[in-house]
Amino acid sequence: MDNVLLAAVLLPLLGAGCVWALAETGRKVVRISALATTLLTLALAVVLISQYPVGEAEFAASETNVSWFGGEDGPIDVRFSIALDGLSLWMFGLTALLMVTCVLISWEAITDRPAAFYGTLLLLETGMLGVFIARDIILFYVFFEFTLIPLFFLIGIWGSEQRRYAAVKFFLFTLAGSVLTFLGLLAIVLWNAYHSADGVMTFSIPELTASLRLHPIDPAVQLWIFLALFAGFAIKVPLFPFHTWLPLAHVQAPTAGSVVLAGVLLKIGTYGFVRFSLPMLPDATAACMPWVLWLAAAGIIYGALVALAQSDIKRLIAYSSVSHLGFCMLGIFSLNPLGMQGGVLQMVNHGLSTGGLFAVVGMIYERYHTRKIADLGGLAHRLPLLAFFMLVLTLSSIGLPGLNGFAGEFLLLLGMFQRAWTGVPGDWVIHLRIISVVSVLGVVLGAWYMLRLVRLVFFGELREPIRADGEPAPRDMSLREVAALAPLLVFVVWIGVQPRFFLDRMSPQLDGIATQAAKSLDQKPPELGEALTDANEVAAAGEPTRDH
Amino acid sequence: MFDIKTLLIAIPALPLVATLVTAVFGRRVLRQRSHWPVVAAVAGSFLASLLLLNEVHKAAALEDSNQKVGYESVLALWTWAAVDNAYDLDDETDAQGSQTKDFRIDVTLRADPLSSIMLVAVTLVSLLVVIYSIGYMHDDPGYWRFFTYLGLFIFSMTMLVSVSNFVLLYVFWEAVGLCSYLLIGFWFQKREASAAGKKAFLVNRVGDFGFALGVFLLWTTYGTLDFHDTTTKDDGTVAVAMADDEVTTAGVLGQERLTEGNYKTGAVATAICLLLMLGACGKSAQFPLHVWLPDAMEGPTPVSALIHAATMVTAGVYMVARCSPLFFASTDAQHVVALIGGFTALMAALIALTQTDLKRILAYSTISQLGFMFLALGTGTLVGVVAAMFHLFTHAFFKGLLFLGAGSVMHAMGGVIDVRRFGGLRRLMPVTHWTFLFGSLALAGIIPFAGFYSKDTILLAVHAKEGAFYAVLYWTAVVTALLTAFYTFRAFFLTFYGDEQIPPEAGHHAHESPGAMVWPLRILAVASLLAGIVLYQWGSFDGFIRKTPSLDYLARQADLAAAEDAVAGHESVEHDAHFAVMAQSIVIAFLGVGLAAFFYLGDRKEIAAIARAMDRAGLYRLSHGKFYFDTIYKFLVVWPLEGIARLCYWIDRYVIDAAVDFCGMVPRALGASLRPLQSGLIQFYALAMVLGLLILIGSLLMCTL
């Protein structure tokens, strides 16, 4: 069992190599081998998940841990260390699942250099899987940045009209943030090396987490590190107001690119917060909590309102992502078990529903070559099956009970409400209470813009762009397209009816993180302004010592 | 075989299975036979509900009323979600000595008098409507889809009334809303239909916003969301608390809390109740969220009868009745409920006076009757809550009947539903005529039809409350009753009396409806006549339903209050108001019918004159324009929000994104501004070097000095 995880991560890499090698054999062989690779990876992921035990805290499955560079004796020991734990489990599974969907929906749509396309897509899969299972900070960062490059090419080469601008903007915006994140991560490592008992410099994420629990970083320094990490993760999420790269990238990306972008890549940001900021910087997290919550709530409402004003289907769904990721952040930063579990579950839910919605939009675009709401109408007459999928995914997205979105939203909103109305840190009570109520309004607005979209595009009189003479009317979903979306629907219903199955496997670990962060919150966190002054004083006081 | 637990599962399970069968096989295999799975399943559910009612009745009679508050039987199926240590008890400890509480939502079903009565009403009306739909929907291309949605609705509705947990109540609360959305927009090619579906969903979402917050507040206040008590077994598993178990978590409406009367009062109680009431206003179409129901009439008529008259819209009444111990804890909340109910009843009745769309008249009448029920709930007394449930029960029959009758007329008139375009149909459609008459008599409250008894009990309950507040509401209700009798018979006379007039759209359809449609009408007509007498005069409706734990609590509180009064020496004066109220109620109903007959039988000259006079006063238009709520909401909510949305999008592009692009341009601009320095002129470089050196030396000198 030990190397199944390693195999699952490397398989897409291998597949990418094969696909490139097979480039000359034509599109059919290429896409079949890509599909086989993703299916095999999914099978390995299913094996791993099915073996994962329920209810064990700090459990890590299928660990691989070898020295990468540096050495065990030297000052630097960077390791290729991977394992699955409760936090990464479902994101890992979601990635493997969505990649199959991605290959299937690109089947006919990609005609330009298919081998390069599928190869890049598979490279991206390795990167995404790696991010979630890395147990070493350097390895995490390598995978983190590695995901940027394939997506840059996917958007830049196979995108729509403004693809170059979108690709560059996406790349530079996220890179700018993640450089600061890297500095922050290094600062954590260095602080720990200087202050831990044995003085060993470790890059291992679990070891750092455990060590920093014993010797926490000075609160004032934590704050600066938190802000550095925040720069990268908040842009990735994207948290309002760092979101403007997202609608552009979504609209310009090819369908598969949009699906992975919404489904997986955005979650790397929220994942980063849960993996690093909360457990390693609990005091700074507690100090910044109200600010982050304000941004999350603003994103929920703002994203929903902007989505309401859209005339392009894809951009509408892109803005809905801003709103939904606001919910995830709200849950995570409510810093209690309910909100945390809801927030992390919502990461998976958003991947399923929004990933699926982008796939549906891609199918519409393939048939009509337009994404304008005004060009379309009454498609339920022409494409009843597609309308069915669209409706279920929409209902999932707006949090209809019985489907997955509700389970996540309910838990995280309840968690947020509990944070605001019981046991709150003094001065922020009013703020938190406003946030906890206002964010529930996001659920109302969410229903508004999504049902508006469904009504305009799928209901009413049939309205289609004019076809050239002799061009056949578009046909309803093919078996391949059903196969791409049906698995998502299975999980949409499963999580809705029995969320416990999913929660039980991640709760022990998340509870630990939430409890620790909540503890810092109870110990009267410093106000953000005060903390910043403190930090300056620490920095000023630190200067003379450096001369020695 | 037929124990309570099996029945409780079977009632929702049968429609669910039927829905799945129709969904999978309907389109290709079953086609025009798609109704069979649903009809069979609902018939089974109805029988099961009757058996359940019987079992509950037997068990409740056996229950020792001293030990337990009411009768309930709870069945846990599986755990939906569980989060350990979710709730910090703030230095308190629970029975186990733990400082935290677990969040745990089990899928649990309950049987008690309230839910079993609701189940019988729901499945009976469902069965009749499903049979009716066979005739009404024949030839429709979406035949299988219709029955799939209907099955899904019946499953959700039966679950809604039998779950034993606030989260699941919310789940099925929204699930019936979804079915309503799908069925209103069933003919989705019609613009109005899909718009009405969306409107219904969104207005309900506004209500659900309140409901959700109410549920959150219940969780932070009581630390549980179960209705029933739970116990933790030795092996750590959580189960429903039985009679002898030690209760570890007292449910919100559980035995322990009801026995001890352990409810929070004050602002928290009021907030919880008002938030829940907001949810109820959405689902039960009460002011200010009533605007969706009239539009919902765009859906097929059987749907209007089942969902938007008999069952789903009463969910709010059911919920408030179920939560009556919570409302009992807050007098302010009771006043708000009564006020909303009374106001809505009057307002909707005034609007119904001038509408010309037969279905919309009935829709406003439904809003008005639901207002009556909330008025009764707002009294906060056992009599009031029982009266509300009684009216809910009878209303389900006669309003379902009226809608199905309207559907029968619509079917015969080729889809025309405007009362000005047809008339004198009594000879053409004899069965529809007499059944509609029965429904109208019941709605108008003519003795001895069902509506008379239930409306009378509501008036009695309101009359029994002391104080000017309830006195005003009582007279509002009396006026509303008069208006009800009038507008009901206005519609009846316009449709069935006067000169025979048939619109051209009717074509060859202008005849009595087929058997599948008229038999449900006959059955409901008989029910509308007898339900009141049987249940009220001879039956034990209130004796039985007060065995519901929530209602038994009210009874006990009333007993306590009476005992205290007795101790304090206040001799509680037995008003013999019953006869006076009943007399008023009878007179008012006959007066209303009589006025309608006077104005609408014959040449209708007088009514035209009155309408003109009213028009001059502006009142006619106010009523006809539905008090302009739609317009007001459009101006105050929809347009401003859409404007803000566009503004936000503008800000997104020209402020936020522009700032990002600006940041992106800074390095480039910086580079561009430095570019002239690299001019290639050696002399310039030499000059720069010298200058730089001078500055360096200068600064060094400054430092040393």
What's the Rg (C-alpha) of chain B? 31
Please tell me the predicted confidence (pLDDT) of residue A273. 94
A515 contacts B645? CB cut-off 8 A:
no
C-alpha torsion sign, points A217, A221, A223, A227 = negative
Phi-psi region of B103 (alpha: psi -120 to 50; beta: other; left: phi over 0): beta
Mutate to test the interface with A, among B170, B222, B237, B649 (most CBs of A within 10 A): B649
- Which of A364-373, B230-239, B507-516 has maximum average pLDDT? A364-373
Domain residue ranges of chain A, discontinuous segments joined by +: 2-540
Q: Provide the sign of the torsion angle of the four alpha carbons B503, B507, B509, B512, taken in this order.
A: positive
If we measure between CA atoms, which residue out of A25, A130, A148, A26 comes closest to residue A81?
A130
CA atoms within 13 A on the CB side of B363: 25
Distance in Å, alpha carbon of A346 to nearest chain B alpha carbon: 14
ipTM: 0.89
pLDDT surpassing 90 at residue B26: no
- What integer best gives the mean pLDDT of chain B? 86
Confidence of residue B64 (pLDDT cuts 50, 70, 90): low
CB contact under 8 A, B84 and A511: yes
What's the token pair of residue B702? 């400054």
Give SS3 for A372.
Answer: strand
Average pLDDT (A517-540) is 62
Contacts of B88 in chain A (CB under 8 A): 422-423
Cβ of A414 within 8 Å of Cβ of B216? The answer is: yes
- Is B213's CB within 8 Å of A400's CB? no
Burial of B584 by CB count in 10 Å (0-12 exposed, 13-18 middle, 19+ buried)?
A: middle
* Token pair in block for residue B465: 């409350």
- C-alpha dihedral sign at A325, A328, A330, A332: negative
> What's the mean pLDDT in B128-139?
89
More confident residue, B500 or B98: B500
Q: Closest chain A residue to B658 measured between Cα atoms?
A: A244
The interaxial angle of helices A384-397 and A479-497, nearest 10 deg, is 30
Q: Which residue of A has its CA nearest to B659?
A: A244
Provide, as residue numbers in chain B, all residues whose Cβ is less than 8 Å from the Cβ of A515.
Answer: 85
A319, A437, A444: which to substitute to probe chain B, counting the most B Cβ within 10 Å? A444
The CA distance from A531 to A519, in Å, is 18
pLDDT for residue B574:
47
Do the Cβ atoms of B195 and A455 come within 8 Å?
Answer: yes
Render pLDDT for B377-435 as a digit per residue (tens, 0 to 9): 998 888 889 999 999 989 999 999 999 999 999 888 888 888 888 888 888 888 999 99
Answer whether A402 sits within 8 Å of B171, measured CB to CB.
yes
pLDDT in tens, B178-218: 999 999 989 888 888 888 999 999 999 999 999 999 999 99
A308 → closest Cβ in B191, B215, B645: B645
Pair A280, A209: CB distance under 8 Å: yes
Q: Specify the DSSP class assigned to residue A52.
A: P
**How many residues in total does chain B contain?**
705
Using pLDDT thresholds of 50, 70 and 90, give the confidence band for residue A533: low
Nearest CB neighbour to B660, from listed A173, A309, A497: A173
Per-residue pLDDT at B568 exceeds 80: no
Over residues B291-302, the mean pLDDT reads: 90
Q: Which of A306, A395, A443 lies at the smallest CB-CB distance from B649?
A: A306
Mean pLDDT across the stretch B659-679?
A: 81
> Whats the size of chain A, residue-wise?
548
Contacts of residue A122, Cβ cutoff 8 Å, sequence gap at least 6:
A12, A13, A15, A16, A19, A34, A37, A38, A99
Q: What is the mean pLDDT of residues A110-126?
A: 90
Q: How confident is the model at residue B475 (pLDDT cuts 50, 70, 90)?
A: very high
Range with the poorest average pLDDT among A460-469, B128-137, B297-306, B569-578: B569-578
The mean pLDDT value for A301-326 works out to 93
Q: Which residues of B touch A443 (CB under 8 A)?
A: 205, 208-209, 212
A340, A334 Cβ separation under 8 angstroms:
yes
pLDDT band at B129 (very low <50, low <70, confident <90, very high): very high
Assess contact for B145 and B108: CB atoms under 8 A: no
Q: Which of A489-498, B85-94, B599-608 is predicted most confidently?
A: A489-498
Crossing angle (nearest 10°) for helices A163-195 and A219-236: 160
Region B592-612: what's the mean pLDDT?
81
In this predicted structure, the answer to whether residue A532 has a pLDDT above a threshold of 60 is no
Q: At what angle do helices B358-377 and B382-412 cross, to 10 degrees?
A: 170
Nearest to B205 among A447, A498, A507 (CB): A447
Q: Confidence band (pLDDT; 50, 70, 90) for A219?
A: confident
pLDDT at A545 over 60: no
Minimum distance, in Å, between the CA of residue A402 and any CA atom of chain B: 7
How many percent of chain A have pLDDT more than 90?
48
DSSP 8-state code for residue B226: B
Query: So what's the pLDDT on residue B506?
Result: 77
Question: For residues A177 and A268, is the Cβ–Cβ distance under 8 A?
Answer: no
Contacts of B171 in chain A (CB under 8 A): 401-402, 406
Q: What is the pLDDT of residue B705?
A: 67
pLDDT (tens digit per residue) in A406-435: 999 999 999 999 888 886 556 788 888 999
Q: Is residue A1 scored above 70 in pLDDT?
A: no
Q: How confident is the model at residue B341 (pLDDT cuts 50, 70, 90)?
A: very high
* Amino acid type, A287: A
In chain B, residues with a C-beta closer than 8 Å to the C-beta of A500 are 79-82
Q: Give me the residue label for tokens 């980063």.
A: A272
* Higher per-residue confidence, B65 vs B276: B276
User: Which residues of A fall within a CB distance of 8 Å from B163?
Assistant: none
pLDDT of residue B191: 86
| Residue-level pLDDT at A73 | 66
Residue A132 has pLDDT above 80, yes or no: yes
Instruction: Give phi and psi for A500, each to the nearest 5.
Output: -60, -40
At A528, is the pLDDT very low, low, confident or very high (cuts 50, 70, 90)?
Answer: low
Q: What is the C-alpha separation between A342 and B421, in angstroms, rounded?
A: 56
User: What does A470-523 look like in DSSP terms, one character per residue?
Assistant: TPPPPP---HHHHHHHHHHHHHHHHHHH-HHHHHHHHHHHHHHHHHHHHHHHHS
Let me know: does B253 contact B166? Beta carbons within 8 Å.
no
**HSE-up (13 A, CA, CB side) for residue B511:** 4
- DSSP-derived 3-state class of residue A200: coil
Q: Using one digit for the tens of pLDDT, what is the confidence trace for B450-460?
A: 888 889 889 98
Residue type, B705: L
